[in-house]
Structure 1
Amino acid sequence: MKIRLTLGEQVIFASLEDTPSGRDFLSLLPMTLMLEDYNTTEKICDLPRHLSSDKAPKGYAPSAGDITYYAPWGNIAIFYRNFEYSSGLIKLGQIEDNLEGLALTGRIKMQVEAL
Structure 2
Amino acid sequence: MHIRLTIDGRRVEATLNDSAAARDLATLLPLTLETEDFHQTERIAYPPRKLDTSGAPDAATSKAGDLASYAPWGNLALFYRDGQHSPGLAILGRLTNSGDTERLATTDRITIEALS
Q: TM-score range by the shorter chain?
A: over 0.9
If the length of structure 1 is used for normalisation, what is the TM-score? 0.93
How much has 1:43 moved relative to structure 2? 0.4
The answer to whether the 8 A contact 2:59-2:87 is kept is: yes
What's the counterpart of residue 32 of structure 2? Answer: 32
Q: Runs in 1 of length 4+ with deviation above 3 angstroms?
A: none
1:67 is paired with a residue whose SS is strand
The answer to whether the 8 A contact 2:50-2:74 is kept is: yes
Aligned residues: 113
How much has 1:47 moved relative to structure 2? 1.1
What's the counterpart of residue 11 of structure 1? Answer: 11
What's the counterpart of residue 53 of structure 2? Answer: 53
Question: Which of 75, 100, 103 lines up with 2:102 in the alignment?
Answer: 100
- Aligned partners of 1:39, 1:101: CA distance in 2, in Å? 16
Q: Percent identity?
A: 44
- Aligned partners of 1:2, 1:25: CA distance in 2, in Å? 12
If the length of structure 2 is used for normalisation, what is the TM-score? 0.93
Q: Which runs of 5+ in 1 are unaligned?
A: none
2:104 corresponds to which letter in structure 1?
A: L
Q: Which runs of 5+ in 2 are unaligned?
A: none
Say if 2:71 is the partner of 1:74.
no
- Aligned partners of 1:43, 1:58: CA distance in 2, in Å? 21
1:103 corresponds to which letter in structure 2?
A: A
- Aligned partners of 1:47, 1:3: CA distance in 2, in Å? 16
1:29 corresponds to which letter in structure 2?
A: L
